[in-house]
């Protein structure tokens, strides 16, 4: 695993008023690690109350403890799999029965590199069910409750630039992210009149340990991927967290149905994000296959 220094999640802390998200209750899926944790940290710093969900309870508990200690925030956790709609419904019932929800962040996703012809239906479903169905289940569960109660809300979904141009070797993820982007734009029109905004962020390379182990399993691949864009560097977690904080806040109240790209201009230079993997040999691909057991 590539070791990286801890990110400064609150980079640019003076950009916003300290209470920008004061008392807003925000649910972040996949909130225990990576970009989800970075966004949660920044939201708490700006006064939000947090609900984090994910599959690994110890990871969620650790993130909650750290955020509470740093910011004195209220942080609740739910251990669940977003592929299971009944678990999402149960979580949403508890959230709305105990004060409601203001903002949903669809961050949980799955991805790995593979030559598409080697994928089984089960492998495809492993990505599609988390990355597409999960955000749709969560958005529907939150939206139904907001509409029934007559209150508004915000849904922020994390997509990818290949949602609109595609990419080889990550085909299930590209299809799923395209679906989430279509959902965002469709609901912006349908639910906008009900005071529910839907927005999205398309990040470029933002290194996280878990994602990089599955997508860029060798240091040379990671280096190539991170530095290929015009700015010659990967994104910093604090940069994305600040963008997310803006989009879910009242400062962006007139932004609806939009997807904001934050990739340093990388997709303009290299639209097929993982196209460079075409140079890999059969032996390389075989070494990347998940080991059984």
174-191 pLDDT, tens digit each: 999 999 999 999 999 999
pLDDT computed for residue 211 by the predictor: 67
Rounded CA gap, 284 and 287, in Å?
Answer: 5
Residue 6 has pLDDT above 50, yes or no: no
Rounded CA gap, 192 and 256, in Å?
Answer: 8
Domain span at residue 111? 20-288
89-108 pLDDT, tens digit each: 999 999 999 999 999 999 99
Q: Report phi then psi at 154, rounded to 5.
A: -130, 135
- Judged by DSSP in three states, 44 sits in helix
Nearest-10 crossing angle of helices 134-149, 171-191 = 10
Please compute the mean of the pLDDT values over residues 32-52 and round it to a whole number: 96
Q: Does any domain span residue 248?
A: yes
Q: Does any domain span residue 163?
A: yes
Catalytic residues: 162
Q: Does any domain span residue 133?
A: yes
Please compute the mean of the pLDDT values over residues 244-268 and round it to a whole number: 96
Q: Does any domain span residue 146?
A: yes
Q: Which two tokens stand for residue 109?
A: 């996703």
Task: Please count the structural domains in the chain.
Answer: 1
Residue 152 has pLDDT above 50, yes or no: yes
159-173 pLDDT, tens digit each: 999 999 999 999 999
> Which percentage of the chain shows pLDDT scores above 90?
73
Q: Does any domain span residue 10?
A: no
Q: Does any domain span residue 206?
A: yes
Q: Does any domain span residue 6?
A: no
- Assign residue 156 the CATH number of its domain: 3.40.50.720
Q: Does any domain span residue 189?
A: yes
Mean pLDDT, the chain, rounded, equals 90
Choose the weakest-confidence range: 13-17, 27-31, 124-128, 234-238. Answer: 13-17
Q: Which two tokens stand for residue 43?
A: 């939201």
Nearest-10 crossing angle of helices 121-128, 171-191 = 40
């Amino acid at each position: 695993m590539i070791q990286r220094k801890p990110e400064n999640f609150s980079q640019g802390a003076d950009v916003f008023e300290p209470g920008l998200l004061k008392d807003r209750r925000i649910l972040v899926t996949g909130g225990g690690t990576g970009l989800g944790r970075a966004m949660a940290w920044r939201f708490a710093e700006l006064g939000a109350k947090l609900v984090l969900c994910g599959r690994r309870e110890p990871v969620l508990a650790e993130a909650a403890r750290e955020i509470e200690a740093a910011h004195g925030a209220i942080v609740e956790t739910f251990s669940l799999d977003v592929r299971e709609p009944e678990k999402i419904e149960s979580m949403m019932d508890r959230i709305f029965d105990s004060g409601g929800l203001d903002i949903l962040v669809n961050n949980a996703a799955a991805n790995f590199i593979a030559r598409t012809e080697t994928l089984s239906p089960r492998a495809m479903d492993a990505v599609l069910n988390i990355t597409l169905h999960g955000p749709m289940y969560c958005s529907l569960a939150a939206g139904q409750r907001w509409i029934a109660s007559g209150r508004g809300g915000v849904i922020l979904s994390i997509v990818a630039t290949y949602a609109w141009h595609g990419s080889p070797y990550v085909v299930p993820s590209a299809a799923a992210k395209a679906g989430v982007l279509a959902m965002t734009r469709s609901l912006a029109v349908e639910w906008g009149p009900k005071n529910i905004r839907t927005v999205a962020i398309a990040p470029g390379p933002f290194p996280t340990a878990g994602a990089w182990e599955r997508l860029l399993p060798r240091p040379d691949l990671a280096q190539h991927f991170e530095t290929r864009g015009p700015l010659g560097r990967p994104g910093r977690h604090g940069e994305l967290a600040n963008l997310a904080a803006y989009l879910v806040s009242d400062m962006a109240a007139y932004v609806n149905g939009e997807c904001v790209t934050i990739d340093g201009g990388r997709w303009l230079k290299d639209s097929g994000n993982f196209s460079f993997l075409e140079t890999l040999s059969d032996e390389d691909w075989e070494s990347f296959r998940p080991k059984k057991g």
